[in-house]
Amino acid sequence: MANITGKEDMYREATARGRIRLKKSTISAITDRRVPKGDVLTVSKVAAVIAVKRTPDLIPACHVIPITHVEVDYEVDTDSVAATCTVVSTSKTGVEMEALTGACVALLTIWDMTKELEKDRRGQYPTTSIEGIKVLKKVKGS
């Protein structure tokens, strides 16, 4: 774990994004709120916020920092859902890992909630994929 003792607290912000590819019929079920496990985007948003707050429990070298804001947004396309997670803190270290974790868990939750609709006859996921996870923006200082 990096020694951040001598660093000053300052405004930190990071935005991460990823995308899950799904069948068109699954996208329709999400937007029409017909997924058997519930409201996919609401549940995955809650999961993302929890994941952001639990990042130091999941990634050993991450510091415990005060999270002052989390925002999770979705862009639903005809064959995919993009999840964007923005995390804000006033601390000694950045929040990129928290934003990445939030975006990843949002996407994993979408997968979990829609897997019944995505599986083929053999129980496989031939068209489902999570891709393009990256940090879009990092801000240090106001």
Reported as a single tens digit per residue, the pLDDT across 6-39 is 999 999 999 999 999 999 999 999 999 999 999 9
pLDDT at 1: 87
Catalytic residue chosen out of the listed positions 32, 39, 79, 112? 112
| Secondary structure of residue 83 in the 3-state scheme | strand
pLDDT in tens, 65-118: 999 999 999 999 999 999 999 999 999 999 999 999 999 999 999 999 999 999
Please tell me the distance from the alpha carbon of residue 45 to that of residue 49, in angstroms, as a whole number.
6
Is 77 assigned a catalytic role?
no
- Domain topology for 10-140: Alpha-Beta Plaits (3.30.70)
pLDDT at 39: 98
Global pTM value? 0.96
Alpha-carbon 38 to chain mean position: 18
pLDDT in tens, 49-58: 999 999 999 9
Residue 73 tokens read as 């947004």
The full set of domain ranges for the chain reads 10-140
CB 80 within 8 A of CB 132: no
Residue 128 tokens read as 């489902």
What DSSP assignment string belongs to 66-87? -EEEEEEEEEE-SSEEEEEEEE
